[in-house]
């Protein structure tokens, strides 16, 4: 009998990168319930809403007779993928917080069986300090990137105020075009500079991925096999309105503000643990969505052959040096925001991301997907922290008429000691910190990030001249 008569499509090259012995990566989406979870509709949601989103959710990866990895349709049973953990009964939210954290740490480390579809849904019906219950979506990165998978998750949700209306998202200004203005040659010098910067950044990125490691510091142990070590998940929430006030005062973007806060917080933490680390060579690896879009498209649109934001893995990365904590930056922490703005602006007008994609494609053709996985693994291992971000809806959401209080995500599978995922929802910006247990002091690290935000916010509000930007 031919096992491949129900093959839907070949596995994409990136899908294979993220499902190798070296890298087995997952995206975790967390939905926090505002009221206790009613699981009476779980089976219907599973069969009628979640499974139909994408054929990959009811397929497994298998190698055909020619050695090509393909998605094969299989029968999916709810009991294989829906998990309902049982915690000891308690009247204390703090105790449930502990059970929840321990359970999350456990499933972050576990790999899903390869003979079943590569996802799970964990239904936590117990209350915590943050929510009345939590749904955890564990989705293998081979199924798609964060944009695809969070977009799929959002397709299961509705606006809480009016389900007939679509969810809306914060607007994003498009990058400034490099195309020349008609009748003018003013664009020429900036284009030449952009080309020079692109190749310079590209060369540095290749060297960082293969040769030069970051210094060993309180945020980077340099140990082997960190992807198999236990980790801790924690969250920090900031007011999006306050971030917008900082943004307006400094004349920068929200991304500039939060990147500056993260980098300043990292340096404060490093200094507290080891004063010499304040000037160590450390790099942030920023994961980017390479789609030329401003918001999420529907899953139906993502699945179209001519989609501008197709389903799958469309990501790249950039190396961003973490500014050193010099005496000048200690006295003026806004320098971290302005340096972030300057670097991000330069990268925005650069072709580095596409050059990196080209290199990975060439390496795939010449050496195979496991060699590319090794390249990506080395890129992460040589850096100190991985940062990614996604935008969330502006309006409150509901799942089957159950209001969603909070929304956040994280990723696993890489050899980094710190992974920071940023996501907005309603009027809150949430930083989810995945840290190496026993190496990173998560309480001190969180405290350093919060302190960085408070110091930068105060410095911005105390500025005499508004809209002063050094970018």
- Hey, what domains does the chain have and what are their CATH numbers? 7-159 (3.30.559.10), 188-392+414-461 (3.30.559.30)
Ranges 42-46, 98-102, 260-264, 424-428: which has the least confidence = 42-46
Q: What number is the average pLDDT over the span 378-385?
A: 91
Find the mean pLDDT for residues 12-31: 85
Tokens 């709810």 found at: 78
| Cβ-based neighbours of 465, under 8 Å, separated by 6 or more | none
Band of residue 260 on the pLDDT scale cut at 50, 70, 90: very high
pLDDT of residue 298: 47
**CA Rg, the chain, in Å?**
22
pLDDT at 8: 63
Would you say 344 and 256 are in contact if contact means Cβ atoms under 8 Å apart? yes
What token pair was written down for 263? 């980098």
Q: Read off the pLDDT of each residue in 192-212 and give the average, rounded to a whole number.
A: 68
Which range is least confidently modeled, 3-17, 88-102, 196-210, 307-321? 307-321
CA–CA gap between residue 204 and residue 213 (Å, rounded):
12
The C-alpha angle with vertex 145 and arms to 227 and 174, in degrees rounded to 5, equals 125
* Pairwise CA distance, residues 162 & 148, whole Å: 24
Beta-carbon-side half-sphere exposure of residue 122 (alpha carbons within 13 Å): 20
Q: What is the 8-class DSSP label of residue 319?
A: E
In terms of average pLDDT, the best of 66-70, 204-208, 215-219 is: 215-219
**402-412 sheet: strands from edge to edge:** 82-83, 119-124, 133-140, 26-33, 402-412, 397-399, 158-159
Q: Give the mean model confidence (pLDDT) for residues 132-143.
A: 91
Query: Quick one: pLDDT at residue 2?
Result: 40
Query: pLDDT above 90 covers what percent of the chain?
Result: 39
CA dihedral sign of residues 144, 146, 150, 153:
positive
Give the percent of the chain with pLDDT over 70.
Answer: 80
Find tokens 């919060």 and name the residue. 450
Binning pLDDT at 50, 70 and 90, where does residue 240 land? very high
**Residue 233 near residue 134, CB atoms below 8 Å:** no
Query: Average pLDDT for residues 440-458, to the nearest whole number?
Result: 96
Kindly report, residue by residue over 83-117, the tens digit of the pLDDT.
999 999 988 999 999 999 999 999 999 999 989 99
On the question of pLDDT at 124 being above 80, the answer is yes
Q: Which two three-digit tokens encode residue 84?
A: 């309902």
- The alpha carbon dihedral of 140, 392, 178, 260 has a sign of negative
Average pLDDT over residues 390-413: 90
Minimal CA–CA distance to 409: which of 134, 78, 40?
Answer: 134
Q: What is the average per-residue pLDDT within 355-376?
A: 79
State CA 124 to chain mean position distance.
23
Phi, psi of 155 (to 5 degrees): -70, -15
User: Sign (positive/negative) of CA torsion 422, 423, 429, 431?
Assistant: negative
Please check the confidence at residue 308 and state whether its pLDDT lies above 90. Answer: no
Task: Give the per-residue pLDDT at 329.
Answer: 58
Among 305-314, 340-349, 425-434, the least confident range: 305-314
Highest mean pLDDT among 80-94, 151-165, 357-371: 80-94
Between 173-182, 248-257, 336-345, 436-445, the lowest mean confidence (pLDDT) is in: 173-182
Average pLDDT of the chain is 81
Contacts of 60 (CB under 8 A, 6+ apart): 71, 72, 74, 114, 115, 116, 117, 118
pLDDT in tens, 161-198: 888 887 777 755 533 333 334 444 444 455 565 666 66
pLDDT of residue 177: 34
């Amino acid at each position: 009998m031919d096992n491949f008569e129900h093959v839907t499509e070949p596995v994409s090259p990136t899908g294979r990168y993220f499902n190798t012995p070296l890298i087995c990566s997952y995206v975790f989406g967390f939905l926090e319930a505002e009221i206790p979870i009613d699981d009476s509709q779980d089976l219907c949601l599973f069969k009628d809403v979640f499974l139909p989103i994408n054929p990959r959710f009811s397929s497994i990866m298998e190698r055909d007779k020619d050695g090509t990895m393909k998605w094969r349709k299989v029968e999916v049973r709810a009991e294989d993928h829906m998990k309902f953990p049982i915690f000891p009964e308690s009247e204390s939210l703090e105790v449930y917080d502990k059970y929840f954290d321990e359970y999350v740490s456990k499933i972050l480390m576990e790999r899903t069986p390869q003979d079943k579809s590569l996802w799970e849904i964990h239904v936590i019906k117990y209350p915590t300090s943050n929510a009345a219950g939590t749904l955890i979506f564990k989705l293998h990165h081979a199924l798609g990137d964060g944009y695809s998978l969070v977009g799929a998750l959002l397709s299961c949700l509705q606006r809480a105020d009016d389900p007939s209306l679509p969810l809306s998202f914060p607007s994003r200004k498009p990058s400034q075009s490099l195309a020349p203005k008609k009748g003018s040659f003013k664009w020429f010098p900036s284009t030449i500079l952009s080309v020079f910067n692109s190749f310079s950044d590209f060369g540095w990125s290749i060297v960082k991925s293969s040769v030069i490691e970051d210094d060993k510091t309180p945020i980077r142990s340099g140990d082997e096999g960190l992807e198999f070590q236990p980790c801790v998940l924690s969250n920090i929430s900031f007011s999006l309105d306050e971030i917008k006030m900082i943004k307006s005062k400094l004349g920068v973007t929200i991304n500039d503000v939060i990147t500056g806060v993260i980098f300043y917080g990292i340096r404060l933490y490093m200094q507290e643990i080891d004063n010499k680390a304040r000037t160590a060579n450390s790099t942030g690896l920023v994961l980017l969505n390479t789609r030329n879009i401003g918001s999420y498209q529907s899953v139906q649109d993502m699945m179209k052959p001519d989609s501008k934001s197709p389903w799958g893995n469309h990501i790249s990365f950039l190396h961003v040096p973490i500014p050193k904590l010099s005496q000048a930056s200690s006295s003026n922490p806004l320098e971290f925001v302005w340096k972030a703005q300057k670097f991000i602006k330069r990268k925005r007008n650069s072709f580095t991301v596409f050059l990196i994609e080209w290199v990975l494609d060439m390496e795939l053709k010449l050496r195979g997907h496991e060699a590319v996985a090794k390249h990506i693994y080395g890129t992460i291992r040589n850096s100190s922290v991985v940062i990614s971000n996604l935008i969330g809806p502006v309006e409150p959401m509901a799942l089957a008429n159950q209001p969603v209080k909070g929304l956040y995500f994280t990723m696993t599978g890489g050899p980094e000691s710190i992974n920071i995922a940023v996501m907005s929802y309603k009027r809150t910006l949430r930083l989810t910190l995945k840290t190496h247990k026993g190496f990173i002091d998560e309480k001190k690290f969180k405290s350093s990030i919060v302190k960085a935000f408070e110091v930068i916010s105060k410095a911005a509000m105390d500025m005499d001249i508004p809209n002063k930007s050094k970018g």
